Amino acid sequence: METAASARVDLPVQPVHVAIIMDGNGRWAKARGLPRTAGHKRGAEAVRRTVECAREMGISYLTLYAFSSENWKRPEGEVSDLMGLLRLYLRNEVKTLHKNGIRLRIIGDRSRLGPDIVSLIEESEAKTAANSAMTLVLALSYGGRQEIVAAARALAADVAAGRLDVAQVDEEALSARLFTADIPDPDMIIRTSGEQRISNFLLWQCAYAELVFLDVLWPDFSRDHLIAAIRDFHGRERRFGATGG
């Protein structure tokens, strides 16, 4: 295994928070005449590689879009297979995450997940809560619009109950009611597979994120792809709307 120093190569300071839309498992499998499940399994291996590399490179937060709100519309068999892979990940990988000082956080609508999965999530989050080497955020049953609606409802309830004045409803108040309230906004969002869209991912949080689209299917995503994306990130001027182009 590479050391942290060698993994950083000659890159400048790493972005604090990298988020990835992991796309292309199905196409990877189809191109090889394999069932979609095979693509998801290889995708899980790419997750392991990416988490390891991100930690070695000194990235503080890594968010992976693992299962969207819209993914519930997929065929029942595929959803069942994905939930099975999730169970395996939570049972088998959390020990490794904990050993490497990685905190696990899950964001999304847990009400649609099976009770056993929710229990595994709670156990995993509790076990790794004190870790500080890196925070791995998995977005499960997650949708950006749904998250904003839930935050707006929470604000409305607080106003109706008299806990909050209407004049106090601002960006900070809404951000505090998002799943990511204690997580910094992403500096960069990577999407694999060549598609160039956000797909309902971190819509509020990505306001000033740099977007990097890579023409590689997720199961083939490697350390070199992550480094290339970060090089791209460092080649951009981030003005946050302060100056004109």
> Residues marked as binding?
23-28, 36, 40, 68-70, 72, 74, 191, 197-199, 210
Considering just the CA atoms, what is the radius of gyration of the chain in Å? 18
Task: Phi first, then psi: give them for residue 137, nearest 5 degrees.
Answer: -110, 120
Q: In sequence order, what DSSP letters do the residues of 10-32 get, joined into one string? A: T--SPPSEEEEE---HHHHHHHT
**How far does Cα 148 stand from its chain's mean position?**
17
φ/ψ of residue 69, rounded to 5: -60, -35
Active-site residue, 71 included = yes
What are the phi and psi torsion angles at 87 (to 5°)?
-60, -45
- Is there a catalytic annotation at residue 185? no
Q: Which residues are annotated as a binding site for substrate?
A: 24-28, 36, 40, 68-70, 72, 74, 191, 197-199
For the CA atoms of 57, 59, 60, 63, the dihedral, rounded to the nearest 10 degrees, stands at -130
Task: For residue 234, give the nearest of 183, 188, 184 by alpha carbon.
Answer: 188
Q: Which of 71, 100, 131, 200 is catalytic?
A: 71
Annotated binding site for Mg(2+): 23, 210
Residue 86: how many CA atoms within 13 Å on its side-chain side?
23
Q: Which residues are catalytic?
A: 23, 71
